[in-house]
Every structure is written in C-alpha cells, then in structure tokens.
Structure 1
C-alpha cells in the first residue's frame, strides 16, 4: 500500500507547518501530497505553492469541484501544473452535492453522473490535442450553442507534457463508484470503512465489467483519506474528530440529501446518524458531536496510541481494496517512520 499526506481545505486560514510537513513527507519517501476544496480555499493554488518546494512527491487534488470550473478550464490548470511539476499531477474531481453546487457555485446539480462523464471526456480531448475540441452534450457544448454565434472549435496552445493525466473520481454512492471504475483512472472515497470493503468491491466490479471500461482492478488506483489522531487515550483522540464526523453526517446537505450521512448509515450507524442530523439541523452542533460514538470514528479513522494505529493498519486497512492511504494528520516525530512503514 502506498502512503499519502493530506492538507485538505482550510478552515479560517492555512494549516500550520504544511510547508515543513510536505518537506518531511517527501524526505521520508511518502508517495503523494493532496489538497481539497469546497467553498473557501481552492485546491490548485496551495498544491502549486507547496508543490513548488518538492521534486518527487506526486501532487493530487482530492477533490477539485467540477462546478467551480468548466472542463476546459480545469484541463488547462491541470496541464499547466503538470508541466511545472514535471508530470506529477493526479487530478481528483468530484460532483459534490446540491447544497454546495447550487448554493455556492450557482450551477445546476441534477444528473451528476452524466455530467461527470461529459466533463472527463472534454478534459481528455483537450490533453490529447488531436484536433480542435468540439462537444455536443446535455451539460456542455463546445462551441457554445447560442450567444453571438461566433464561437469556434479551438485546440490548446500548450502541448501537454502528458496526453493522459490520471483522473481520480471522488465518489460515495455505488453508482458513482461504478462509474469511476468504468471511466476514471482511480477513485477517492470519502469516509471509507474497512467494514464496507465488500460493498465497494462489488460496485467497482460492476464498473470494470462494463463494455469499454478504461481500467481493470489490477491497474486502478484507490486513494482514501484517513484521519489520523495520535493520543495515548483513544477517547480523547476520537473526541477531536467527532465534530468533523458530526458536520459531515449531520450538517452537510439537506435532511433528505446528505450523501455522507448515507455512507455512515451503510456502515450500520443509522440510529446514531438520525440523532446527529436532528441535533445538527436544530443548531446544536455541540450536542451532535457528543452523539457521535467513538466506535463510529474508529470505523473511518486511525485514533489512539501509535501501536494501536499500526495494528489497525495491518489488521483492518491493508486487506481492503485501497491502494493508497492518505493520512489526514501527520504522525508524531517519534512514531512517524513506524506508522509509515506499517502502511507500506
């Protein structure tokens, strides 16, 4: 299993010591460094800023919001950064949810799977650079149909360093996971749990079996962000993540349209999710966090002393379908190589 480190998206400001963390990670042979975006910091600027101080580590987005940019704009950004980094970009993209897509980006959300398929097709046409790009889809048209009528097919001025930059899809539901297996180079789960490994293997197998599938299980990458909090006390470690779990399970999206909540329900946390969501939507985020069971955190994160974390990695995480474990937290100096070696 490969190992990555996650900067994520920011809270009120940039994460502290990230420049040092990335340098330490590269020196220790960590395979990849990842950023994210939602509706605050963007994924590409921090990746370029911190990535400029590295030379070997792969640079990934987990994820770029599709609704934030047109397919050609994201293709341009990816090929630009790929040139500057010497071919180290992994482009993770995601459809997000209606709350963010329509509330923040002012774009329509319906038919996200169809939209994703069109989006990826256009980006690959840009990078292939075989001919001026044209596309006639439900969601995207090149040239634009309407307006002045003066639009014309164009070919990228830049010759991409790689004509086939790897695309990973962020996905949670079984249909979207199957689509990732069919048309993408990799999948970035969110809130993956080893206990749901069989469920996701089945969804992936459905995608791999489709006619024209791009990859097989043997050359498909699955890079999962796993929160890590070291502490001699498991309860104390888990308590640091309970507000995050409560936010996603209870506060993201509407009551009947929260895909993160659905993920935890599939793990068997239906009753807890109902209570967490009810409290969160009533404005009681503090009580919602308290309602998150410690075992629910342990299902999706690495928490506790270093020895327990290493045992969890070996016993629970390494037998799964994952190919890369992206740490959402940097191990303590005295345990760093021990934990990284356990993942490898």
Structure 2
C-alpha cells in the first residue's frame, strides 16, 4: 500500500476550521495526517482531532522533541492516542534544538543523540507494556509500569539528518522522518542508514506550492528556506550533503543580520530542488519522484497558491488538486 499524507495543522487554516477538510482526505486518497511541534501547535491535539474526524487516517508525529516531555509522559500520551485510534498511530521523535528546548522551555540541550536513543528504547519497551527501570545515559527511571498496553504497538520513528542520527534511526527505531531534502538527497541518506535501514519506513515532509507562477513560487520558497537553511541543524545537514558553496552567500547575509538577503541569496536551483512547485500535475510528478527514490510516506505541507484562493476553501481545493491519482 502506497501511503500519501498531509501535514497538519494546515497552513493558514485555524484548527477550528479543519474538520471539513480532514473528513474529506480519505475520499481523496490520502492515508495519513502527521503533525510536528516547535513553538506553535502542540504535536498531539491536532492528531486526536484528526483521528476522531477521519477514522481511517493514520496519524503520527513528525516530530516531537524528546527533551520537552519526560519519557513516561511521552509514552502515556502516545498510548492514550493509540487507545483512541488503535492501529493508526505512529510516533516520530527527534532532538529539536536550543531555540525550542532551552530558549522557550528553559531545559538544557545536552547530548541530543543519546537522549533520542534512550527515549526510543524507553518508548519501545513502555509501549509494548514492559516495565522500565534503570540508568540510561541521559536520564534515570526508577520504575515505570505502563498502565496502558496499546495493541498493536505504535511504531517509533526518529527524525534524523546526519550520519550518527541516521544510523540510530536504522538501528534502534522503526523508521526515519526526514525534512527539507531534495530527491537526490535520498541516496546519501539511505546509504548513511546502512543495511539496517532496509525495509524501514521513510517519512518525508514535502513543502508544496501548487502554482504555475515560477517567480511567486521561488519567492515563497526563499522566505521559507532562508531561515531554515541557516539554522544550525539544517545548515550542518546541507553542508554534509555537499551544499556548502551553494549556501555560502546566504550564510554571509544571515551572519550580517540581513535576513531577507539570506533568502535572496539562495540559488534558484536549490530553491527548486527543496520546494515542490508547479501546476498540480507537475507537483504530483515531483512527489512520485520522491517515492521512487525511497520515500514510503510523503507528507504534503501545502503553501497557499493564488490559483486556489485563501483560507480553508483554498486549502481544500489545493489538496483536491494534489490528491494521488492511483
């Protein structure tokens, strides 16, 4: 079964206006709705609503930070959602970064890879109904005895960018959550996962602007990508992918405090590689290319386009136009 997902909450649509859209997604051929968590919506409330509004959708997190909830609270939250939507829940966890862990939550950002690994181990044991106790590298659990035993056990995925975390996703988890990558990046990503990654799920969030206006698409792409590609984690990821020279001018502008200039300095070719844009049929072809390269669950994050109008109606019209045709 080829999965085809949507990132929620939807861009420019208040959560109170999501129901009509979510209810229609299965009829359009979408199988999944996944959320994330940074400094806006929490990662689980939109999924609980989506699971109730569309009982056939699988819901998942792509991703929630491992530092901002204790391991037991995270396991309890996932297990609760899994009891409400049995067999339809996946949890993706990641290391996030200092802006969201320390600056807004006051939590030290320490040993991110170890913390992700320990959380994955904890979750896989707790969600399977096993008691957890002992000293991990990044936390100590005296005795957690899960009261909820979801059946089936939700898969645990890891949000990963570079080799150490990619190997962790392959070795310890049930799959990978990827973000802000081009089709050609799937090859080095899969190589870094190694043979243990064979057959595991690869979830990729794909930003899609379904417009035939090339200048508009690139402008919106630069506004989105300028801050992202200059963030510590994604800057290092794209350097590892060999894009240091392509990003040099943008990094200089960013370091000088010229935020708009950082976006303007991104090469057209890079914007085109990282943002899916064009007429809807062209966007579907681009998404299919990601699937052919190894993505098992593409998640569309729709950027509003003037062809479809604004607000909930425009977003629903865009999702209808982008819906899988097979």
TM-score bracket, shorter-length normalisation: 0.7 to 0.9
1:175-221 Cα distance to aligned partner (Å, 9 max, x none): 10111011111101111211122211211215x1xxxxxxx512x10
Please give the alpha-carbon distance, in whole angstroms, between the structure 1 residues aligned to 2:221 and 2:100.
22
* CA deviation map 1:27-55 (0-9, x unaligned): 22311101111123211112213332110
Q: Does 2:180 match 1:191?
A: yes
Q: Give distance in 2, aligned partners of 1:242 and 1:295.
A: 11
User: Which residues of structure 2 form unaligned runs of 5+?
Assistant: 309-315
Confirm whether residue 243 of structure 1 aligns to residue 249 of structure 2: no
- 2: CA distance, partners of 1:243 / 1:98: 22
What secondary structure does 2:67 align onto? helix
Q: Is the 8 Å Cα contact of residues 225 and 263 (structure 2) preserved in structure 1?
A: yes
Task: Choose from 141, 152, 157 the match for 2:147.
Answer: 157
SS of the residue 2:40 aligns to: coil
Matching of residues 24-103 of structure 1 within 5 Å? 24-103=24-103
1:76-155 residue pairs with structure 2 within 5 A? 76-130=76-130, 132-143=131-142, 153-155=143-145
Q: How does 1:214-229 map to 2 (within 5 A)?
A: 217-218=198-199, 220-229=200-209
Q: Distance in 2 between matches of 1:318 and 1:85?
A: 26
CA shift for structure 1 position 155? 1.5
Between 75-84 and 238-247, report the one with greater CA deviation. Answer: 238-247
Q: Matches of 1:320 and 1:61 in 2, distance apart?
A: 22
Whether 1:167 aligns to 2:156 is yes
| TM-aligned CA distance change 1:15 to 1:230, over 3 Å | farther
Q: 1:325 aligns with which of 295, 298, 318?
A: 298
Q: Equivalent residue for 2:22?
A: 22
The answer to whether the 8 A contact 2:86-2:151 is kept is: no
- Of 112-121 and 164-173, deviating more is 112-121
The alignment covers a number of residue pairs equal to: 315
Which residues of structure 1 form unaligned runs of 5+? 144-152, 209-215, 253-257
- Within 5 Å, give how 1:297-308 maps onto structure 2: 297-308=271-282
Q: Secondary structure at the match of 1:107?
A: coil
Q: CA deviation at 1:240?
A: 1.3
